[in-house]
Amino acid sequence: MRKIIKNSPVPLYYQLKEILQEMIDNEELKPNEPIPTERELCEIHGISRMTAREAIMALVNEGVLYREQGRGTFVAGPKPKYRLTELRGMTEDMERMGHRVETEILSFATAQATKTIRSLFGLEQDDALVYRIERLRIVDGEPYALETVWLDAERLKGMSRERLEGRSLYDVLRRDYSLQPRSARQTFEPVIMSDYEASLLRVDPGSLALLFHQTTYGESEEVIEYVKSIYRVDRYKFEIFLKS
């Protein structure tokens, strides 16, 4: 390992950060292998632990390293290359385009709402309950999105896994609860899939994906649902039409 230069104008933590990055690039440190411990790095370079930590934490923040308390600090897996794909339509068009769409309910739970979810639904009680439903969307037998839906349990009493089985959520909301989705606000961003998500969607861990956050509003602008969805992007392309 290259050594830190003590009297350099370059901060010590920054030098160490560069050294570690270099070793990862040169594969002296390989993915999922541990890097030297904080205390070892202190020894090697003659620096204090807080300084070593600063270098490590910077790389953790960049996703280059990950840490596990009691075990060590490890090199994160490499980021995949992007592959260009065929042009395809989007979710709603799927059935219209003659594709077979299935939904597998992975979990159905009643849980205490987090602060974020509470403020979203305008729930005041600290112990307000929500349904948290995880669903796997499947098109023509291939999984293509992983969805987590939050619903206000107070408003939607009697919701159950069985009630959702084989029906669309919107159908249940409309017919069983007289809730008509009117508008939605959706944000999206690129993400790297976690191992869990990748295995469910049957793609390589670390694949690129699109993460959507959707808040759906009803007729009186009340929040009906909050949805977090991860879409794979290797088989489908997302398309928007804009008009002036």
Partner DNA sequence: GTTATCATGTTGTCTATACCAATTATAAAA
Partner DNA sequence: TTTTATAATTGGTATAGACAACATGATAAC
Residue environment code for 7-41, b if the CB has 16+ CB neighbours within 10 A, otherwise e:
eeeeebbebbbebbbebbeeeebeeeeebbebeeb
Shortest spacing between CB 21 and DNA, in angstroms = 16
- Binding residues for a second copy, per CB under 8 A? 50, 61-62, 79-82, 84-88, 180-192, 204, 206, 208-210, 233, 237-244
Q: Does 23 bind DNA (CB under 7 A)?
A: no
Q: Closest distance between a second copy and the C-beta of residue 162, in Å?
A: 27
Cβ closer to DNA: 10 or 191?
10
Strand partners, 107: 134
Nearer to a second copy (CB atom), residue 71 or residue 243: 243
Assess 18 for contact with DNA (CB under 7 A).
Answer: no
Binding status of residue 49 toward DNA by CB under 7 A = yes
Among 11, 63, 122, 166, binds DNA (CB under 7 A): 11
Choosing from 2, 3, 30, 39, the residue that interacts with DNA (CB under 7 A) is 39
Distance, in Å, from the CA atom of 1 to the CA atom of 19, rounded to the nearest integer, reads 8
From DNA, a second copy, none, which one binds at residue 127 (CB under 5 to 8 Å depending on kind)?
none
Going by DSSP bridges, is the β-strand pair 101-112/223-232 parallel, antiparallel, or unpaired? unpaired
Q: Give dist(CA 144, CA 132) in Å, integer.
A: 20
List Cβ<8 Å contacts ≥24 apart for 238-244: 238/90, 238/210, 239/89, 239/90
C-alpha to C-alpha distances, 1 to 24, 115, 182, nearest whole angstrom: 11, 46, 60
What values do phi and psi take at 107, rounded to 5?
-155, 150
Which of 72, 78, 122, 166 is the binder for DNA (CB under 7 A)?
Answer: 72
* Residue carrying structure tokens 């993915």: 31
CB 66 → DNA: shortest distance, Å? Answer: 9
Smallest distance from DNA to CB 194, Å: 18
- Between residues 13 and 121, which has the closer beta carbon with respect to DNA? 13
User: Under the criterion CB under 7 A, does residue 104 sit at the interface with DNA?
Assistant: no
**Cα separation, 215 vs 199, whole angstroms:** 26
Nearer to a second copy, 85 or 107 (CB): 85
Residue 81 three-state SS: coil
Asked if residue 9 binds DNA (CB under 7 A), the reply is yes
Please give the residue ranges that form the binding site for DNA (CB under 7 A).
Answer: 9, 11-14, 34-35, 37-40, 46-51, 53-54, 67-73
